[in-house]
């Protein structure tokens, strides 16, 4: 693996192997989600844009250990199954370990909490060239401003190594979320984010004397590594590019019970690199903790 590195993997394995970190638990969560994306191909315009529904089922098992009065260590394993009915090549199974450390800076409900999380995950796709191994590091802060208002800030960096170089890359991102607990049942949230790094765009292709090229004249001269794919039925060219993305959105989450919550969320993404493209994502998810 070229770019993910072994340091996050070593830390994760050591934490998961530690009896102290696994003293309390296991705590099990399951989730189900339905997502609609209006531009799953990340195409700039025209015939390259495809929309799709996706179904996701996930499960996680975690162990929790209190290190001291103000520090909690959580270690666990997560697995997800993603199914995209219109484009079966995007169907995937992923799994991997994670370690999360949280430290509260002071006493009382308004004391800020710092956290650091490492995730390592392997994903296998029906289109085998998309299969990858990814390692991410996230640092963040949560701050309760008042009893019903919470601010969450996070900075994340990661690297993923796929079977084909087109689907490999690195990224860094920032995210801010404001949670408003309207009452004991309803939570509203506002989300803003920024991401810079590699991504994959797909566009309809045609055969030329020089091989497969994008149909759009403005996109024929691809900016980086590219690959001919049949993921979307018609001939497509997938190409990797460096992109800066701004995102914003909102969500509403009612509690359905003591251990169950429902979430409805809308996100808008504005990405610019070699081309510019937009994406709207609507999701409904259900999560239950045992």
Length reported for the chain? 290
pTM of the model: 0.84
Weakest mean pLDDT among 89-93, 132-136, 166-170, 235-239: 235-239
Query: Beta strands of the chain (E only): which ranges?
Result: 24-37, 52-68, 71-83, 92-104, 113-125, 132-146, 149-162, 169-181, 186-208, 211-214, 226-229, 236-254, 260-272, 276-289
Given a cut of 70, whether residue 266 has pLDDT beyond it is yes
140 pLDDT band, cuts 50/70/90, is: very high
What pLDDT does 290 receive?
86
Q: Provide the 10 A C-beta neighbour count for residue 240.
A: 24
Given a cut of 80, whether residue 69 has pLDDT beyond it is yes
Q: How far apart are CA 267 and CA 269, in angstroms?
A: 7
Please report how many Cα atoms fall inside a 13 Å half-sphere around the Cα of residue 258, on the Cβ side: 1
User: Domain boundaries in the chain?
Assistant: 7-289
Summarize the confidence of residues 184-210 as an average pLDDT.
Answer: 86
What pLDDT does 195 receive?
98
Query: By percentage, how much of the chain surpasses pLDDT 70?
Result: 84
pLDDT per residue as tens digits for the range 200-240: 988 876 666 655 555 554 544 555 667 788 888 878 888 88
Q: How far apart are CA 202 and CA 180, in angstroms?
A: 38
- Mean model confidence pLDDT for the chain: 87
Q: How far apart are CA 286 and CA 151, in angstroms?
A: 23
What pLDDT does 13 receive?
45
Exposed / middle / buried, residue 254 (Cβ in 10 Å: 0-12, 13-18, 19+): middle
Q: What are phi and psi of 208, to 5 degrees?
A: -125, 170
CB 268 within 8 A of CB 247: yes
CATH number of 7-289: 2.40.160.40
């Amino acid at each position: 693996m070229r770019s993910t590195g072994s340091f996050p993997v070593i830390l994760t394995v050591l934490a998961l192997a530690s009896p102290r970190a696994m003293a309390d638990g296991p705590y099990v969560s399951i989730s189900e989600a339905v997502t609609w994306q209006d531009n799953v191909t990340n195409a700039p315009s025209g015939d390259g844009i495809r929309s799709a529904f996706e179904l996701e089922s996930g499960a996680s098992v975690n162990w929790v250990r209190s290190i001291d009065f103000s520090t909690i260590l959580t270690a666990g394993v997560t697995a997800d199954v993603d199914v995209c009915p219109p484009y079966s090549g995007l169907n995937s199974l992923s799994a991997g370990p994670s370690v999360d450390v949280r430290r509260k800076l002071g006493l009382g409900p308004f004391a800020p909490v710092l956290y650091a999380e490492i995730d390592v995950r392997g994903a296998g796709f029906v289109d085998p060239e998309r299969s990858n191994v990814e390692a991410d590091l996230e640092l963040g802060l949560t701050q309760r401003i008042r009893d019903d208002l919470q601010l969450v800030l996070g900075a994340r960096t990661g690297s993923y190594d796929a079977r084909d170089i087109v689907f490999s890359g690195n990224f860094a991102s920032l995210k801010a979320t404001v949670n408003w607990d309207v009452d004991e049942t309803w939570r509203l949230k506002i989300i803003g984010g920024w991401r810079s790094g590699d991504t994959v765009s797909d566009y309809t292709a045609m055969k030329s004397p020089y091989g497969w090229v994008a149909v759009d004249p403005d996109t024929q001269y691809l900016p980086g590594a590219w690959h001919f794919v049949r993921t979307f039925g018609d001939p497509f060219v997938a190409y990797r590019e460096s992109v800066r993305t701004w995102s914003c959105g909102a969500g509403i989450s009612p509690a359905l019970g003591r251990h169950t919550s429902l979430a409805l969320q809308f996100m808008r993404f504005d990405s610019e690199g070699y081309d510019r493209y937009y994406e709207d994502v609507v999701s409904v998810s259900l999560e239950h903790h045992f």
